[in-house]
Amino acid sequence: MVLKQKFLSQLHSEYYHNNNRLEIFLIIIFAIITLIGILNHVMWRDELNGWLIARDSYSFIHFFENIKYEGHPVIWYAFLWFLNQITANPIAMQFFHWLIAVTTISIFILFSPFTKTQKALFTFGYLPIYEYSLISRNYGIGILSIFVFCACFNTRHKSYLPLGFILAIMANTNAYCLLISLGLGFTLTIEYLFSHYFQYEIKPNKYNFITASLIFLLGIFLSVFMLLPPSDSTLQGGASQWFFYFDFHRLTQTITRVWRSYILVIIPSDSKPLDLFIFSFFSLGLFGFSILMLIKKPIALLFYLVGSLEILAFTYAKFLGSQRHYGHLYIILIASLWIGSYYANSKLIVNFLNSLSNQLSKTIYYWTNFVHHHKKSFLLFILWLQVIAGIVAFSRDLITPYSSSKVTAEFIQHNDLAEHFIMGSEDFTIAPISGYLNQKIYYPETQKLGSYVLFNNERNIVEDTDIINQMSQIIANENKDILLIMNREFLGSSPELRIQFIEKFTQSFIYNEKYYLYLVKSSS
């Protein structure tokens, strides 16, 4: 018996040792692959504009005022400001974002309840390997906060303070994580207030819970304060452009965001009503299957429903978004399954539904059993599709530059063109070139030298004739030749100016970050 116990103990120790080695190996592989990817990745305007605000704001107060036009909370920009006190090289931002991505996936691999196969597939899925690692935005730090919350979820048995701090931080990463933090906060509140009904043991006293809630509320207040745009903001319509009336086409667009978030390899077209109608049913099927996966975990299901519906409501009312935005629906599913692992199965919801009608009881019994027998296959199916999408996106980024800004800036530097007076239009597409050049550029939209772009009333859309007039004035006043950078072919002409085409750079994933260079001189 003693020998048997020793053998089992040794077997158990070897299993966990090998399991830990596999997890560490997985983290190292992820770190190496994403480091290669992020060093190859060419940053675009949404990455570099925030960096330029941190770099070129003349004071911290000015910086704080400028980021109000970005439409995001403060945390990511605070890190960018700190990094700029060390170096003006934007590679620092990329390296910092890589560290965030590696930390995020390390927490997921080491602390999540998923199987080794599920962990590996999630790790190399589209969002972790590409969207939230290679592209340096505030979304990566938001996902980190969600996973830290999930890993620390059980601390609520001793104190709610750690979760209160995490939720406050989460709320200040981006608007989507603000909504998710509200969903998590609401879920914790319901669990605390009705713990006896759910038969969960809650040890912290009400003062502990109230203190944690106040910390979270303070975080919400700061986030909302930063998200409320200035009165002259024109970003995404500013504070006024909300969609509050019913439109069936927009509704189907919104519902299909569930499909687009979970299933990335077949994407319905937003411009084809029939596609949207069909994929809306598929999306509702995915949503319903996910609900039944969590039906025996009432608290996790509550978060899944509240978090998902919040994101969908925001998508309908404000911004349809892209993968990095509605991808949070997929993250909510993963977080809900993670949180659900902390709870034993409960028949609370099933018994309630059974009590409503005999027919409903039979239907629920059938579909619950169906989901129970297929939930692992369902999750693996989604994870594999995410991996396929991740491989495609990551490989594409290695082959096709995300933006032509870097190669354009290198051409300008290598050919000593930076010595000229540089003008660029359209301003927000030219901003990444300013970032790579580490030099301000004259923007005809604002008629002044600048680097970052603020979407406010100072900007005016310019035509070729406006650019011609401004160049003529600059050449007359400054007596300098102009290097004109356009994100399209320049068709303007003037008898007073000699406009010579130099080069074009059109290999770019972002359609309007392709550039055309012209040398402009006085014809006299």
- Total domain count for the chain? 1
Q: What is the pLDDT of residue 14?
A: 52
The answer as to whether 211 is a domain residue is no
Q: What is the pLDDT of residue 182?
A: 98
Q: Which helix H or strand E contains 450, and what residues bound it?
A: strand 448-450
Residue 501 tokens read as 């085409």
Of the candidates 463, 521, 514, the one whose C-alpha atom is nearest the C-alpha of residue 492 is: 463
- pLDDT tens digits, residue range 343-379? 988 888 777 777 777 777 777 777 788 888 889 999 9
List the domain range (segments joined by +) for residue 482: 405-522
The answer as to whether 359 is a domain residue is no
pLDDT higher at 292 or 202: 292
Instruction: Indicate the pLDDT class of residue 9, thresholds 50, 70 and 90.
Output: low
* Mean predicted confidence (pLDDT) in 260-279: 91
Residue 267 tokens read as 């994407």
* Unique residue bearing structure tokens 């691999």: 109
The answer as to whether 493 is a domain residue is yes
* Mean predicted confidence (pLDDT) in 159-188: 97
- Could you tell me what percent of the chain has a pLDDT over 70? 95
Q: What is the pLDDT of residue 364?
A: 76
Residues paired with residue 483 on neighbouring β-strands, in sequence order: 422, 519
Contacts of 305 (CB under 8 A, 6+ apart): 291
| Residue 240 CB coordination number (10 Å) | 8
Q: What is the pLDDT of residue 349?
A: 77
Among 11-15, 121-125, 255-259, 430-434, whose mean pLDDT is lowest? Answer: 11-15
The answer as to whether 438 is a domain residue is yes
HEC string of 81-95 equals HHHHCCCCCCHHHHH
pLDDT higher at 320 or 2: 320
pLDDT higher at 130 or 367: 130
Residue 5 tokens read as 């116990």
* Mean predicted confidence (pLDDT) in 405-421: 96
- pLDDT tens digits, residue range 298-356? 999 999 999 999 999 999 999 999 999 999 999 999 999 999 999 988 888 777 777 77
* Mean predicted confidence (pLDDT) in 126-141: 97
In this predicted structure, the answer to whether residue 97 has a pLDDT above a threshold of 60 is yes
- Could you tell me what percent of the chain has a pLDDT over 90? 78
* Mean predicted confidence (pLDDT) in 129-133: 97
The answer as to whether 149 is a domain residue is no
* Mean predicted confidence (pLDDT) in 380-401: 96
Instruction: Indicate the pLDDT class of residue 235, thresholds 50, 70 and 90.
Output: confident
Contacts of 94 (CB under 8 A, 6+ apart): 38, 39, 41, 43, 136
Of the candidates 219, 180, 142, 189, the one whose C-alpha atom is nearest the C-alpha of residue 306 is: 180
In this predicted structure, the answer to whether residue 16 has a pLDDT above a threshold of 70 is no
Instruction: Indicate the pLDDT class of residue 511, thresholds 50, 70 and 90.
Output: very high
Rounded to whole angstroms, how far apart are CA atoms 333 and 305?
10
The answer as to whether 342 is a domain residue is no
| Residue 417 CB coordination number (10 Å) | 18
In this predicted structure, the answer to whether residue 221 has a pLDDT above a threshold of 90 is yes
* Mean predicted confidence (pLDDT) in 71-90: 94
- Put residue 195 in one of left, alpha, beta given phi > 0 → left and psi -120 to 50 → alpha: alpha
In this predicted structure, the answer to whether residue 195 has a pLDDT above a threshold of 90 is no
Rounded to whole angstroms, how far apart are CA atoms 405 and 118?
37
Among 77-91, 313-327, 356-370, 431-445, whose mean pLDDT is lowest? Answer: 356-370
In this predicted structure, the answer to whether residue 240 has a pLDDT above a threshold of 70 is no
φ, ψ of residue 501 to 5 degrees: the values are -70, 135
The answer as to whether 294 is a domain residue is no
In this predicted structure, the answer to whether residue 239 has a pLDDT above a threshold of 70 is no
Q: What is the pLDDT of residue 13?
A: 55
| Residue 27 CB coordination number (10 Å) | 19
In this predicted structure, the answer to whether residue 461 has a pLDDT above a threshold of 80 is yes
Of the candidates 374, 311, 372, 380, the one whose C-alpha atom is nearest the C-alpha of residue 146 is: 311
Q: What is the pLDDT of residue 371?
A: 85
Q: What is the pLDDT of residue 7?
A: 47
Residue type, 333: L
Among 107-111, 229-233, 323-327, 381-385, whose mean pLDDT is lowest? Answer: 229-233
pTM exceeds 0.85, yes or no: yes
Among 194-203, 255-264, 477-486, whose mean pLDDT is lowest? Answer: 194-203
Rounded to whole angstroms, how far apart are CA atoms 300 and 303?
5
In this predicted structure, the answer to whether residue 428 has a pLDDT above a threshold of 80 is yes
Q: With contact defined as beta carbons under 8 Å apart, do 171 and 181 qualify?
A: yes
In this predicted structure, the answer to whether residue 17 has a pLDDT above a threshold of 60 is no
The answer as to whether 515 is a domain residue is yes
* Mean predicted confidence (pLDDT) in 32-54: 96
Summary mean pLDDT of the chain: 92
Residues paired with residue 518 on neighbouring β-strands, in sequence order: 484, 501
